[in-house]
Structure 1
Amino acid sequence: MVNETLAAEVLANTVPDDKIRDEKETAPRTGRRSTATRMPAAERRRQILDVAIEAFARSGYHDASMNAIAREAGVTKPVLYQHFASKHELFELLLAETGDHLLRAIETASHEETPRERVEAGFRAFFHFFEDRPSAFTVLYGAGLATEPEFRRDVRRVRDTFAEHLTGLVGNRNHDEALALAAGINGLSEGMIRHWMHEGRTRPADEMAALAARLAWGGVESLI
């Protein structure tokens, strides 16, 4: 499951890609003191992550430079590299964090009484999550980022975990049925969120969630 453990795993196993120009950058050595406003490390880290996801969503992975992220965050590059050793590490951590936040958002669905209500609540949380965080949608589903070879596995893991979680809300299924249902939910949710976001979110999130749940439940009923 994509959670804090995955974020820790990402940090432990990150290998910078030497072919990417920003990955060749190492933390600059300087004797100068940072002119950035001092704040607690956790708060500064959060600030950098918030700036970075917007930069990646706007410019794509390759064109979003560490220089630009540092500048937008109001920190020097040495301060940025104190928190994140490379752009690769920063982006992978954002993927893990975004997936974790998405799963947290749909966990409330498990409190509904019936399987169908739980599925609809899960889709409702899914659509509202990306409505509130359009940059997270671009990171997980944007063609320019989601298909980057070095991140494809991580993006797929986030999407698969979401589908598996939503499938679990339906109730007990045998292995083959669960796999088929998860694949169907994955394709359905991805297709609908792409269409909705690209069309400017003209329909309410709750309406999209209800439609997705009806379509998904049709697949569930075919297995009953």
Structure 2
Amino acid sequence: MSARRERILDAARGVIVREGYPGVSMHAIARAAGITRPALYAEFDDRDAVFAALFDREQARVLAMAADATPTVRPDTDPDDIAVEVAEAAVEVYLDLVLSAPQTWQLVLMPGDGLPTAVHARIDTVRTEIRHRIASVITMVAALRERTIDAELLSYAVISISETGARLLLADDTRREPIATTLRWLTRRMAAAALAMDPG
């Protein structure tokens, strides 16, 4: 992707984060990118084309970050310690990734008012992919503990509290440690409770 297109997409992302989707126009994007409207139209036919390219890029970035944030289970880990290790590792990496690319995560986590249908679908795809990764780790942990748990339900709970923590962090990045402490406690408790349930 050319440097100009990258600059345009960065500008579009910034306008969306500041103004919301209803406030995004080709004129606003051109102004934020520091280029003329003819120069913008030379790169993208219309606003929808900008959105499509932007979410292609941001979707790839978020999924790559999610892959980095997905904890691995070491073969030599004591089964009794796995749930705690996985929970704590996931929380720390996730919050660091949110802070490393705040506008990217704001784009995914911001309220959906005025959100184009195609963008809704992209965000749902991202959430589903991340949730599947979480469910896979939960299933692996349960298998190592010789337990059967509802990984799908627990993955929904994990992603819900994680997104809430991320929104709070994006609103005030000085709260990282208290947010991390709370998320670690919640994820540990959920994992421990689920693994302690009678598998029958």
> With structure 2 as the length reference, what TM-score do the two structures score?
0.73
Aligned 1:48-63 pairs, distance under 5 A: 48-63=8-23
Percent identity between the two aligned chains: 22
Deviations 1:66-95 (A, max 9, x none): 112112212222332233222123224333
Distance 1:84 1:207, change over 3 A: farther
Aligned to 2:26: 66
Gaps of 5+ in 1: 1-40
Aligned to 1:103: 63
> With structure 1 as the length reference, what TM-score do the two structures score?
0.66
**Conserved in 2, the CA contact under 8 Å of 1:102 and 1:129?**
no
Q: Distance in 2 between matches of 1:180 and 1:52?
A: 35
Aligned 1:83-94 pairs, distance under 5 A: 83-94=43-54
Distance 1:160 1:139, change over 3 A: same
Q: Distance in 2 between matches of 1:176 and 1:82?
A: 53
Aligned to 1:126: 94
Distance 1:123 1:88, change over 3 A: farther
Aligned 1:1-224 pairs, distance under 5 A: 42-108=2-68, 109-113=70-74, 115-116=82-83, 117-144=85-112, 148=115, 150=117, 151-172=119-140, 177-204=150-177, 206-207=180-181, 210-218=184-192, 220-222=194-196
Q: Distance in 2 between matches of 1:201 and 1:181?
A: 29
Q: Which structure has more helix as a fraction of its residues?
A: 2
CA RMSD in angstroms comes to 3.1
**Conserved in 2, the CA contact under 8 Å of 1:123 and 1:212?**
no
More off after superposition, 103-112 vs 148-157: 103-112
Secondary structure of the 1:203 match is helix
Partner amino acid, structure 2, of 1:70: A
Q: Work out the number of aligned pairs and report it.
A: 183
Partner amino acid, structure 1, of 2:43: H
**Conserved in 2, the CA contact under 8 Å of 1:53 and 1:135?**
yes
More off after superposition, 154-163 vs 95-104: 95-104
